[in-house]
């Protein structure tokens, strides 16, 4: 089985936010929640880099470990998903996540959090694949249809890569060798306990 | 000081505080690298993940979304907080709480229940009035509810989830979360009342050292003098005040997430809240033990407000003397002082 990952090639990302828009549209993500976002470092200065970030679907996912009601599970492909039925909106997964993936709708005054929502690698949730019930809670299930996440598919510069971790690591290495530079696979050491030697 | 100087002082404090907060909040931007010709060198200035993390625990940047929290690209400290919560906290909780229970069990098996040496006299002395008892029980019951619902977050998935299954456990945890947040209010009120009422009786005094030296009433052959509250009780009071303030502040930071703290602040608030709460639970378990099983004649002080005369003589002799000069026993013939028969 393939172990799927995300890789954002920061040297190609032009901050167009197509990935953000594609994700929001595909899954009809509610207002205020952003499963994917683009963060720009050194904005306007030489050496500016943009990185598209959602859930990295980590190895030993800290969100999963820290959840008080154990509502997370990791699929055979390595996709980290959770059950909104079991989630109690405590917010711990956000504190544990190194990438700020979990988001919560505001359901009341003060800090009341609703059910956590995050990038699902377009793999839905515990409900049966490609059913309206699954779509209402988790959005589209592209993986069940044999497709890759839509954010990577829509990327205008093919900076955001998604798929088998080994294959996208190879693609990135090839790019870096060909063009002669690369700022690295952002987040890989924290997420997967391994970097990519370039 | 005059009004103007007061105002100037307050302004300078506010400016200093905001400067410090800005320093803490701002991420240092990596320095621009210059080329040999003196112009900025874009390739050398490229943002590098490792270099950025060396300079600051979080990598932050510009975003298109309005939510400030999403600026943080990476905060690897999340994994460390996860390690604290799943490993360190579980060990701390198990060792401290089970250790305390084991120690109390040993104390009971070795010493047994501390009896009133001369036996009950049958005469009663008023120790706590209704308002004091209300304040104590308001705090106590709130504490037990808060403690259990709090322990549910840390240990529930290990101890309870396997027993009742995920759906029931999630429903129960959801209810526990709201209960914990709302009952915190009665705990705050109760703690404020307790401190207001009993602060003056808990001021450390010289007699407390004698009490400790004489073995605190646990060594039958020695006599430990005590005022209204002995050194042990004073320790519980001051611990409860300190730990109470700590859990209240950290707890309200957790209930109002990111109002005044960033993610590091939230992680710290949770750490403080959890560690202090575990220690607090252990101390209160000991307090409950000594007030119920551990000592004959203790529980009625808080349940009815009146204690046996011999118990008071043995454990709070200095207080008893003062109490009897205020309200001599003979006028009461076994009834509690001042209160009409109901």
The ipTM (two decimal places) reads: 0.94
So what's the pLDDT on residue B168?
97
So what's the pLDDT on residue B90?
97
Q: What CATH number does the domain containing A30 carry?
A: 3.30.70.20
Residues 6+ apart with CB under 8 A from B253: B259, B260, B261, B265, B266, B269
Option in A17, A68, A183 nearest B47 (CB):
A183
Query: Is there a domain that residue A40 lies in?
Result: yes
Query: Is there a domain that residue A198 lies in?
Result: no
Task: Give Cα separations from B156 to B151, B161, B218 (angstroms).
Answer: 7, 6, 37
Residue B309 has φ and ψ, to the nearest 5°, of: -60, -45
> Given a cut of 50, is residue B256 above it in pLDDT?
yes
B181 touches chain A (CB under 8 A): no
Supply the DSSP string of A8-75, one letter for each residue: EBTTT-----HHHHHHHHHHTPPTT--SSEEEEESTTSTT-EEEEES----TT-HHHHH-TT--EEE-
Task: Mark A50-62 as b/e (b = at least 16 C-beta within 10 Å).
Answer: bbbbbbbbbeebb
B90 touches chain A (CB under 8 A): no
Supply the DSSP string of B85-131, one letter for each residue: IIIIHHHHHIIIIIHHHHHHHHHHHHH-SB--TT---S-EEE-S-HH
> Residue B74 and residue B120: Cα distance in Å, rounded?
67
* Token pair recorded at residue B262: 């960033």
> Residue B300 and residue B321: Cα distance in Å, rounded?
20
Using an 8 Å Cβ cutoff, are A50 and A15 in contact?
yes
> Per-residue pLDDT tens for B200-220?
999 999 889 989 888 887 777
So what's the pLDDT on residue B213?
87
The radius of gyration of chain B from alpha carbons, rounded to an integer in Å, stands at 28
* Token pair recorded at residue B149: 């619902």
Residues in B closer than 8 angstroms to A19, CB to CB, are none
Helices B99-111 and B263-291, axial angle in degrees (round to 10)? 10
> Given a cut of 70, is residue B55 above it in pLDDT?
yes
Residues 6+ apart with CB under 8 A from B167: A85, A86
CA neighbor of B316 nearest in space, from B235, B198, B224: B224
Helix, strand or coil for residue B277? Answer: helix
> Given a cut of 80, is residue A167 above it in pLDDT?
yes
Residue of B82, B151, B153, B158 to mutate when probing chain A, most A C-beta within 10 A: B82
Say whether B33 and A47 touch across the interface (CB within 8 A).
yes
Residues in B closer than 8 angstroms to A55, CB to CB, are none
Q: How many structural domains does chain A have? A: 1
pLDDT category at A181 given cuts 50, 70, 90 is: confident
pLDDT greater at residue B316 or residue B331:
B316
> Residue B12 and residue B8: Cα distance in Å, rounded?
6
Average pLDDT (B50-55) is 92
Supply the DSSP string of A36-48, one letter for each residue: SEEEEESTTSTT-
Largest CA distance in chain B: 101
So what's the pLDDT on residue B47?
85
> Per-residue pLDDT tens for A101-139?
999 998 877 778 999 999 999 999 999 999 999 999 999
Using an 8 Å Cβ cutoff, are B177 and A88 in contact?
yes
> Given a cut of 90, is residue B198 above it in pLDDT?
yes
Cα distance from B180 to chain A (closest Cα, Å)?
12
Option in B48, B157, B255 nearest A69 (CB):
B157
Mean pLDDT over each residue of chain A, to the nearest integer: 95
Alpha helices in chain B (DSSP H): 3-25, 49-55, 77-83, 89-93, 99-111, 130-159, 161-164, 166-198, 206-213, 231-255, 263-291, 299-303, 309-315, 317-326
Question: How deeply is B313 buried, as exposed, middle or buried, from its count of CB atoms within 10 A (0-12, 13-18, 19+)?
Answer: middle
pTM (2 decimals)? 0.89
Say whether B70 and A37 touch across the interface (CB within 8 A).
yes
Residues 6+ apart with CB under 8 A from B301: B127, B128, B307
B31 touches chain A (CB under 8 A): no
> Per-residue pLDDT tens for B72-127?
999 999 999 999 999 999 999 999 999 999 999 999 999 999 999 899 999 999 99
> Given a cut of 70, is residue B14 above it in pLDDT?
no
Average pLDDT (B18-30) is 52
Say whether A46 and B41 touch across the interface (CB within 8 A).
yes
Paired residues of A185 in beta bridges:
A9
State which residues form the domain around A165. Answer: 4-192
> Per-residue pLDDT tens for A8-29?
999 999 999 999 999 999 999 9
> Per-residue pLDDT tens for B121-159?
999 999 999 999 999 999 999 999 999 999 999 999 999
Using an 8 Å Cβ cutoff, are B160 and B169 in contact?
yes
* Token pair recorded at residue B136: 């104590």
> Given a cut of 50, is residue B25 above it in pLDDT?
no
Topology of the domain comprising B77-128+199-330 = Fumarate Reductase Cytochrome B subunit (1.20.950)
So what's the pLDDT on residue A79?
97
Beta strands at A49-53 and A72-74: parallel, antiparallel or unpaired: unpaired
Task: Identify the DSSP state of A7.
Answer: E
Residues in B closer than 8 angstroms to A181, CB to CB, are 43, 46
Q: Tokens 């004649």 belong to which residue?
A: B297
> Given a cut of 80, is residue B342 above it in pLDDT?
no
pLDDT category at B1 given cuts 50, 70, 90 is: low
> Per-residue pLDDT tens for B172-188?
999 999 999 999 999 99
Q: Which of A157-161, B287-291, B323-327 has the lowest mean pLDDT?
A: B323-327
Query: Is there a domain that residue A197 lies in?
Result: no
Q: Cα B193 vs. chain centroid, distance in angstroms?
A: 15
> Residue A103 and residue A122: Cα distance in Å, rounded?
16
> Per-residue pLDDT tens for B269-310?
999 999 999 999 999 999 999 999 999 999 999 999 999 999
> Given a cut of 50, is residue B52 above it in pLDDT?
yes
Supply the DSSP string of B53-85, one letter for each residue: HHH-SSEE-B-SSS-GGGGEEE-THHHHHHHII
Q: Tokens 């209240």 belong to which residue?
A: B248
Residue of B32, B74, B89, B168 to mutate when probing chain A, most A C-beta within 10 A: B74
């Amino acid at each position: 089985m393939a172990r799927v990952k995300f890789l954002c090639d920061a040297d190609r990302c032009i901050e167009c936010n197509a990935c953000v828009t594609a994700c929001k549209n595909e899954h009809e993500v509610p207002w205020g929640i952003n499963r994917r976002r683009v963060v720009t470092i050194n904005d306007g200065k030489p050496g500016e880099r943009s990185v598209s970030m959602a859930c990295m679907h980590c190895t030993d996912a800290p969100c999963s470990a820290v959840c008080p009601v154990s509502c997370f599970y990791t699929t055979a492909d390595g996709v980290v998903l959770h059950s909104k039925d079991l989630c109690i909106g405590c917010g711990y997964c956000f504190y544990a996540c190194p990438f700020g993936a979990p988001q919560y709708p505001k359901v009341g005054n003060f800090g009341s959090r609703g059910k956590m929502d995050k990038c699902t690698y377009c793999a839905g949730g515990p409900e049966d694949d490609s059913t309206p019930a699954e779509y209402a809670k988790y959005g589209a299930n592209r993986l069940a249809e044999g497709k890759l996440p839509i954010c990577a598919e829509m990327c205008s510069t093919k900076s955001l890569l998604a798929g088998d971790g080994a294959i996208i690591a190879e693609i990135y290495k090839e790019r870096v060798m060909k063009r002669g530079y690369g700022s690295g696979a952002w987040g890989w050491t924290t997420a997967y306990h391994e970097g990519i030697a370039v | 000081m005059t009004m103007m100087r007061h105002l100037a002082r307050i302004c300078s404090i506010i400016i200093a505080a905001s400067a410090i907060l800005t320093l803490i909040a701002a991420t240092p931007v990596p320095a621009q690298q210059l080329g040999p010709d003196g112009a900025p060198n874009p390739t050398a200035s490229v943002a590098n993940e490792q270099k950025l993390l060396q300079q600051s625990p979080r990598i932050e940047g510009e975003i298109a979304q309005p939510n400030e929290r999403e600026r943080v690209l990476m905060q690897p400290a999340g994994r460390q907080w996860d390690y604290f919560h799943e490993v360190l906290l579980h060990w701390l909780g198990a060792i401290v709480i089970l250790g305390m229970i084991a120690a109390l069990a040993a104390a009971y098996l070795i010493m047994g229940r501390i009896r009133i040496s001369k036996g009950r006299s049958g005469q009663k002395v008023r120790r706590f009035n209704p308002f004091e008892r209300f304040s104590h029980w308001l705090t106590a019951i709130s504490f037990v509810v808060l403690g259990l619902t709090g322990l549910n977050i840390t240990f529930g998935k290990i101890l309870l989830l396997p027993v009742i299954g995920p759906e029931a456990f999630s429903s129960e945890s959801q209810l526990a979360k709201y209960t914990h947040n709302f009952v915190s209010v009665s705990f705050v009120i109760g703690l404020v009342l307790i401190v207001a009422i009993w602060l003056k009786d808990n001021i450390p005094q010289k007699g407390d050292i004698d009490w400790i030296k004489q073995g605190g009433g646990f060594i039958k052959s020695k006599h430990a003098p005590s005022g209204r509250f002995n050194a042990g009780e004073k320790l519980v009071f001051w611990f409860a005040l300190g730990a109470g303030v700590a859990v209240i502040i950290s707890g309200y930071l957790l209930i109002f997430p990111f109002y005044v703290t960033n993610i590091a602040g939230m992680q710290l608030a949770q750490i403080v809240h959890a560690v202090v709460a575990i220690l607090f639970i252990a101390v209160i378990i000991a307090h409950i033990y000594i007030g119920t099983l551990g000592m004959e004649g203790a529980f009625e002080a808080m349940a009815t407000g009146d204690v046996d005369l011999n118990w008071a003589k043995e454990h709070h002799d200095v207080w008893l003397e003062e109490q009897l000069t205020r309200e001599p026993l003979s006028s009461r013939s076994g009834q509690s002082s001042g209160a009409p028969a109901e």
